Copies of this chain bind each other. A is one copy, B any other.
Amino acid sequence: MHTSTVAYDEIPTPALVVDGGIARRNIERLAAYTVSRGIQLRPHTKTHKSQLIAQLQRAAGASGLTVAKVGEAEQMAEVCDDILMAYPAVDPARCDRLARLALTKTVRVAIDSSYALEALAAAAERAGSTIGLLVELDVGMGRTGVASPDAALKLARLVAARKSGVRLDGILCYPGQVWEPADLQEAPLSKIAALLQETIDLWAKDGLKASIVSGGSTPTAYQSHLVPTWTEVRPGTYVYNDMNTVRGGYCTLDDCAARIVCTVISNAVDGQVVIDGGTKTFTSDLCIPARDTGHGLIVEYPDAKITRLSEEHGQVDVTGCEHRPKIGERVSVIPNHICPCVNLQDRFWWLEQDVARPVQVDARGKLS
């Protein structure tokens, strides 16, 4: 629907603009690291929700793609034959859609309950397909995943005992609690490695093989070698980065590929300007490693602070700025957390050589 390119200054704001050069560099750098360490890279597409970006990741060597929802799986399956849903499907609607997708693609799902196993197996049997299952082990985040290597063995036995519809492929974990600086990650990652090794050994005694051991995140991306059992990692944010990854010390501002370009719409209140992006553009996510730093960084005015968001307003304290942004001026904001921002935009603007091309956010709003 939008195919024509525009000059940067003509993009309607608030707009998600992606610097093509930086995104390509982020993609290639992590691909090179994982190749050098013999780890497969299966990027989580929740961050970009874009077939274009997924194709760049594949071209750089990604072994497959990760998704959270079935709607994302269906979108990404159009450009990739190997999809992992790192999210348990338990309801018949989701399971049936996955089972149909598995007729023509490699589809794997992470599960942490016998309920999910039965639901997926039944759906695959109805469809006449096979879904690969990874048993999710909780390695400290306390969100999903079975609680112990013993529990993982118990669930793996149930999967292996199922004669049709599903296949036991391995183990999945998400080290979402590890936000230490990279040089302090050896201790938490060693603990995770030990839990995984214990699980693998238990399975082996039972004759069960974990061909895939899937882990990883953006904060731990370049320390993935500290968990030698990981056969693959699933970082998402690394392609764009954001103030979470900058302030966490995992990248620099120069590595931030995605910005939200906003217009200053008001300067009526003393010491403040207002930009045309609020929670419906940025969400209200605070910066995880630095919760008091406001709602993102204005690149052109690093001394300004986005102190408060309403739905469509961003209030910016400019009292610390030597020069202040003028009304009508455009500014670009690196958000605290890029992933939910992307999901609020129908399209992003792919910027190369000062020309911006609109690209659909293919999997936006795929909640099911």
Contact = CB atoms under 8 A, between A and B. Distances in A.
Given A14-B367, A91-B13, A279 B268 contact: no
Contacts of A8: none
A343 interface: yes
Contacts of A308: 143
A195 interface: no
Nearest to A10: B93
Given A87-B265, A285-B279, A93 B12 contact: yes
Contacts of A340: 279-280, 283, 311
Interface in A328-362: 328, 339-340, 343-346
A266 B147 CA distance: 12
A68 interface: yes
A280 B368 CA distance: 11
- Classify the secondary structure of A's interface with B: loop
Interface stretch (A31-39, A76-84, A111-119, A184-192): A111-119
What is the count of identical protomers in the complex? 2
Interface in A64-96: 68-69, 87-91, 93-94
A327 interface: yes
A245 interface: no
Interface stretch (A22-30, A55-63, A220-228, A269-277): A269-277
A5 interface: no
Contacts of A144: 265-266, 268-269, 274, 313
A267 interface: yes
A13 B93 CA distance: 9
Contacts of A365: 344-346
A343 B365 CA distance: 10
A142 interface: yes
B367 A143 contact: no
Interface string A142-182: 11111100010000000000000000000000001000000
A94 B89 CA distance: 43
B91 A268 contact: no
Interface centre among A176, A267, A346, A367 (most CB of B within 10 A): A367
A69 B13 contact: no
Nearest to A279: B340
A218 interface: no
A317 to B, nearest CB: 11
Given A119-B328, A144-B274, A315-B143, A88 B284 contact: no
Interface of A: 10, 12-15, 46, 68-69, 87-91, 93-94, 112-113, 115-116, 119, 136, 138, 142-147, 151, 176, 263-270, 272, 274, 277, 279-281, 283-286, 308, 310-313, 315, 327-328, 339-340, 343-346, 365, 367-368
